[in-house]
Amino acid sequence: MLTYEQYRQRVVDAVPRLSAETVDVTDPSALLGRVIAAPVRTAVPLPGFTNSAMDGYAVRAADIAAAAKNAPVTLPVAGDIPAGDTRSLSLEPGSAWRIMTGAPLPDGADTVVQVELTDAGTEQVQIRAAQPEGTAVRRVGEDVVTGDEVLATGTLLHPRHVPVLASAGVQQVSAIRRPRIAIVSTGDELVPVGATPGHGQVVDSNGPMLAALVQEGGFELADTRRVGDTGEQVRAVLTELAAGVDLIVTTGGVSAGAFEPLKLAFEDSDEQFEFVKVSMQPGKPQGFGMLGSTPVFALPGNPVSSLVSFLIFVAPAARKMAGRSPALPTATARVGETWQSPPGRTQFARVVYDDEGRVVRPIGEQGSHVLGGLAGSQALAIVPGDTTEVAVGETVSVIPLDGLA
- Using CB under 6 A as the criterion, which residues of the chain lie in contact with ligand AMP when the complex forms? 185, 187, 189-190, 202, 204-207, 251-253, 255, 257, 300-303
d(CA 20, CA 174): 6
Burial readout 56-78 (b: 16 or more C-beta within 10 A, e: otherwise): bbbbbbebbeebeeeebbebebb
Q: CB of residue 190 vs Mg ion: minimum separation in angstroms?
A: 8
d(CA 324, CA 387): 32
Q: CB of residue 385 vs ligand AMP: minimum separation in angstroms?
A: 22
At 8, phi and psi to the nearest 5?
-60, -45
Binding mask 295-314 for Mg ion (x = CB under 5 A): ------x-------------
Q: Give pairs for 293-296: CB < 8 Å, separation 24+.
A: 293/16, 294/241, 294/242, 294/245, 294/246, 294/247, 294/248, 295/11, 295/14, 295/15, 295/16, 295/247, 295/248, 296/238, 296/242, 296/247, 296/248, 296/249, 296/250
Stretch that binds Mg ion, among 46-54, 249-257, 356-364, 382-390 (CB under 5 A): 249-257
Q: CB of residue 276 vs ligand AMP: minimum separation in angstroms?
A: 15
Q: CB of residue 23 vs Mg ion: minimum separation in angstroms?
A: 39
Nearer to ligand AMP, 90 or 215 (CB): 215
Closest CA to 111 of 85, 139, 87, 142: 139
CA angle 214, 216, 219 (to 5 degrees): 45
When asked if residue 252 is in the footprint of Mg ion (CB under 5 A), the reply is yes
Distance of CA 173 to the CA centre of its chain: 18
Total residues contacting Mg ion (rule CB under 5 A)? Answer: 4
Q: CB of residue 183 vs ligand AMP: minimum separation in angstroms?
A: 9
d(CA 148, CA 50): 18
Nearer to Mg ion, 235 or 320 (CB): 235
At 44, phi and psi to the nearest 5?
-135, 160
d(CA 306, CA 298): 9
Nearer to Mg ion, 64 or 307 (CB): 307
Q: Which helix (H) or strand (E) covers residue 242, if one does?
A: helix 231-242
At 211, phi and psi to the nearest 5?
-60, -40
H-only helix segments in 243-356:
261-266, 303-309, 315-321
Closest CA to 404 of 298, 318, 332, 325: 332
Nearer to ligand AMP, 42 or 185 (CB): 185
H helices, E strands: number in the chain: 9, 27
Shortest-Cβ-distance residue relative to ligand AMP: 301
190 binds, among Mg ion, ligand AMP, none (CB under 5 to 8 A by kind): ligand AMP
Nearer to ligand AMP, 257 or 376 (CB): 257
Nearer to Mg ion, 252 or 283 (CB): 252
Q: CB of residue 199 vs ligand AMP: minimum separation in angstroms?
A: 13
110 binds, among ligand AMP, Mg ion, none (CB under 5 to 8 A by kind): none
At 48, phi and psi to the nearest 5?
-80, -15
Nearer to Mg ion, 249 or 383 (CB): 249
Nearer to Mg ion, 253 or 400 (CB): 253
Report yes or no: 335 and 359 within 8 Å, Cβ to Cβ.
yes
Q: CB of residue 303 vs ligand AMP: minimum separation in angstroms?
A: 5
Q: CB of residue 257 vs ligand AMP: minimum separation in angstroms?
A: 5
106 binds, among ligand AMP, Mg ion, none (CB under 5 to 8 A by kind): none
Q: CB of residue 287 vs ligand AMP: minimum separation in angstroms?
A: 11
At 179, phi and psi to the nearest 5?
-60, 135
When asked if residue 56 is in the footprint of Mg ion (CB under 5 A), the reply is no
Nearer to Mg ion, 298 or 380 (CB): 298
- Pick one of 187, 282, 285, 316: the residue that binds Mg ion (CB under 5 A): 187
When asked if residue 285 is in the footprint of Mg ion (CB under 5 A), the reply is no
204 binds, among Mg ion, ligand AMP, none (CB under 5 to 8 A by kind): ligand AMP
Shortest-Cβ-distance residue relative to Mg ion: 252
Residues lying near Mg ion in the complex (CB under 5 A): 187, 252-253, 301
